[in-house]
Every structure is written in C-alpha cells, then in structure tokens.
Chain A
Amino acid sequence: MKNEWPLWEVFIRGQHGMSHRHVGSLHAPDADMAIKNARDVYTRRNEGVSIWVVEARHIAATAPGDKGPLFEPSESKVYRHPTFFDIPDEVGHM
C-alpha cells in the first residue's frame, strides 16, 4: 500500500566489543524513528550498546544463483588455513 512506512534493517552491537550484527527489520517513517523503534524492539534485554539502521532498499546483495562461482573456489584452498601446516612439536607453540 502506498502509505506504508519504509522497511529498515537493524544492526546491533552487543556488549563485548563485537561488530554490529543483523538482528531483524522494522517499519519506520524515517531514520530517527527507526532507531527509536529498534531500541524498543531489539534491545529490551541488554542485547546491545549501539544500533545501526539502514533502509532495506539500499542494501545490495549477492544472488542465490551465484553461490557456486562466488564461494566454492575457496573450498579447495585448504592451504589458507593454519592447520594445513604441520609444525614439529620441538618448535613449540606457533
């Protein structure tokens, strides 16, 4: 319907210095109200110390069909992980 408030995506940073994380969405007429509503809905039990909101239409995303070409190449590159390399015990912790 034409009078529906726009949709906002809500990101919250928790207590322990973690990065902001997507928690959900809500409708609000503008950014100020979106933050106020996000505070009321998503931080009622100490879930966060900081809120980001962004209008949903501004988010660009990968297409589900691109999952293969985008993410499969890294599956075969096991040498990118530290556990790929055997280091002798004598060397000590590394």
Chain B
Amino acid sequence: MYAQMIKTAHKGVHKREDMSPEERAFQDKIDADIKIEPRDWMPDDYRATLIRQIGQHAHSEVVGQLPEGNWITRAPTLERKAILLAKVQDEAGHGLYLYSAAETLGETRDELVRLLHEGRMKYSSIFNYPTLNWADIGAVGWLVDGAAIVNQVALQRTSYGPYSRAMIRICKEESFHARQGYHAIMKMAFGTPEQKKQAQDAVNRLWFPAIMMFGPSDADSTHSEQSMAWKIKVKSNDELRQQFVDQTVPQIEYLGLDLPDPGIKWNEERGHYDFSDPDWSEFFDVIKGNGPCNVDRLQNRVAAWEDGAWVRDGLLAHAEKKAARKVAAE
C-alpha cells in the first residue's frame, strides 16, 4: 500500500516449464520460504520489480513527512510537538532502511531520488491530501499508519531478505505511530463539541483516501500474480483492505464518531464488515498527478534536495581533504 500499482517487469506469470535451471532453483527457494539474499542469483524481472516497489515504498516514507511536518510548529502542546517530531524522524529512518534495501539490488539512492524528482517514480497517493487541522494529524497516525501496518506486517514475510528485515524494523516503530495518532484523536473526540466536530471531519475526509492506499480492487489489479508467486506481494489488495476495515470500524465506534461511510455494515455471513467502494476515478486521478497536493509535495522535495546540495558537497569535499592530509602525513 505504501507501494501501489507496481508494474511487474514481466507480462503474465513465469511458467515452470519455461524456466531455466537457475530460475527453477530460485523459485523452489521462494516456495520453501527461504529468503533471497543480495548476491544470490535472481531473475532480472524480480530485481527490477523489487527496485520499483522498494523505491516507491521509500519515497512514500520520505514524502510522508511533509503533511505532518506542516504541523510541528503548531502542535497544541510541547509534549505533542515532541511526539510528532519523533514520529517524523522515524519516517526519515524508514526511508533510509528502504533505500538501503533497494541499494543491495544494485541501484543507487541518488538514482532513485532522481527518478522521483523527475516524476518517473511515485509515492503513495495518500500523501497528496492536505492536513487541514490538528485532528488530521491524529487521523493520519491512526488511519494512514494503521493501514501501513496492515500492509507491512504481511510484507515481513516477503521473499527478499533485506526488504523483509526492513519491514520488521519498521513495524516495531509503526505501532508507536498508530497509537499516538489514536491517542491524539481520542482527546479531540472526547473534548469540546468543536474538537469533536474537527475529529469527525478528519475521519470523514481521510477514510476513503486511507482505504485507497491498498490499491485498486483485485479484479482491476493486473500485475499481482507474478508478484504473488515471487512473494514480494504476500496478500491481495482486497484482503488487506478488508482486514484494515475490520480492525478500524470498532475503533471509530469507540470514539463515538459517526461512521464515514453509510455502507459500513457488519455482515454476519461473511464475518466481515461490508463497506462502499471508494471513488476509483479519484484514485487514478491522484496517481496521475492531479491530487490536491501533488505539485506542492514534489516541489518541496526537489527544493529540499537542491537547497541541500552545497551541504552534501561541502561535507564530501571536507572529508576528501582530511583523508588526503592524513595520507600526506603518513
């Protein structure tokens, strides 16, 4: 979900009878739940698809700092500010773990960043929505990070070792994100009528963008099959979305807020909540670059990269000078 609509670098699913002996051995390892490690043999398509998926996931972590960073200076108390600062710092760390995992596949971090800045790689659609009031910050932690956890817990079992290890680290920290968000929104839902109204408004606005994070419905998700066979996708979009809805509805009810979708209803027969489809045309529009904040987010990322260039270059020049001096002294 932090990675959406990843095109598998191959049409259809590799058939066993068409596989080379190397690929057959590779697929056997995956089927036996043995992790693939950086220097192991792997099909080029597996490598390319993983770079796209992990790269997009990393970009999402980094761009995801922007909507929340927006509220650091305006947090209601010093404690909330410290908590939000810690959360945003975690997101930078998550970006780093994921870029590192992508680098083990032979792609440089600078190249991934360049592709993002040129609009040739994407980040999750959710970060193209604005955070309009403090309740949004609570809702982002609770709903957006909550949705991320559902996806990332599944990905801990992914076949590529470095990706799986990054997911394990991230999930440990992500739980803090969801809980601090719910805690913040609890305060508002149980606060003054005006605060409760803001909490309701945040849930109403962010609900559908949050459930869109899992990507299009399985019927329209054409690239999944090979990724599933490679175990770089572990559960289907609809499975993950259902899991998220089932765990989140009781949390909304506990807050005493109205459900953001009149279609949400417990289905005794299925043992799950029914819910309405989001407006998928909005989703595809946001992905295409027409969401409320797409232009802003990318501009901010590019500006941060360009404005920081002199620091990166300066530190490198200093390090090289120091190293040269040390050699001269020896």
Please report A residues at the B interface, Cβ cutoff 8 Å.
1, 3-5, 7, 24-27, 29-30, 33, 40-41, 44-45, 61, 63-64
For A5, the closest partner residue in chain B by CB is B316
Counting chain A CB atoms within 10 Å of each CB, which of B89, B110, B322 scores highest?
B110
Q: B18 CB to closest chain A CB, in angstroms?
A: 24
**Interface contact A29-B319, CB-CB below 8 Å:** yes
Q: Which of B58-102 contact A (CB under 8 A)?
A: 86, 89-90, 93, 96-97, 100
- Top-8 shortest CB links A-B: A30-B319, A29-B319, A29-B315, A1-B110, A4-B110, A29-B316, A25-B100, A64-B40
For A41, the closest partner residue in chain B by CB is B93
- Whether B17 sits at the interface, judged by CB under 8 Å, is no
The closest CB in chain A to the CB of B111 belongs to: A1
**Inter-chain contacts of B110 with A (CB < 8 A):** 1, 3-4
Do residues B319 and A7 form an inter-chain contact, with CB atoms below 8 A? no
A3 touching B40 in the complex, CB below 8 Å, given contacts A26-B96, A29-B318: no
Residues of B within 8 A of A (CB): 37, 39-41, 86, 89-90, 93, 96-97, 100, 103, 108-111, 114, 169, 173, 312-313, 315-316, 318-319, 322-323
Tell me whether A3 and B316 are in contact in the complex, defined as CB-CB below 8 angstroms, given that A27-B109, A64-B40, A64-B41 are known contacts.
yes
Q: Give every chain A residue within 8 A of B169 (Cβ-Cβ).
A: 24
CB distance from B114 to the nearest CB of A (A): 8
A37 nearest in chain B by CB position: B96
| A3 cross-chain contacts in B, Cβ below 8 A | 110, 312-313, 316
Extra contacts besides A24-B169, A30-B318 (5): CB < 8 Å? A1-B108, A24-B96, A24-B100, A29-B315, A61-B39
Q: A64: which B residues are within 8 A, CB to CB? A: 37, 39-41
Count of inter-chain pairs, beta carbons less than 8 A = 50
List of B residues within 8 angstroms of A1 by Cβ: 108, 110-111, 114
Can you pick out 7 interface pairs between chain A and chain B where the beta carbons lie within 8 Å of each other?
A: A3-B313, A5-B315, A24-B96, A24-B169, A26-B100, A44-B89, A45-B173
* Chain B nearest Cβ from A37, distance in angstroms: 9
CB distance from A81 to the nearest CB of B (A): 24
Tell me which residues across on chain B come within 8 A of A44, comparing CB atoms: 86, 89-90, 93
What residues of B have a CB within 8 angstroms of the CB of A29 in the complex?
A: 312, 315-316, 318-319
A24 contacts across to B, CB distance below 8 A: 96-97, 100, 169
Residue numbers in A under 8 Å from B108 (CB-CB): 1, 4
Residues of chain B within 8 A of A45, CB atoms compared: 173
The CA of A40 and the CA of B90, in the complex, are separated in Å by 10
A4, A41, A63: which contacts B96 (Cβ < 8 A)?
Answer: A41
**Does B312 lie within 8 Å of A7, measured CB to CB?**
no
In the complex, are the beta carbons of A5 and B93 less than 8 A apart? no
Q: Which of B39, B97, B114 contacts A63 (CB 8 A)?
A: B39
Task: Select one of A5, A26, A61 contacting B312, CB under 8 A.
Answer: A5
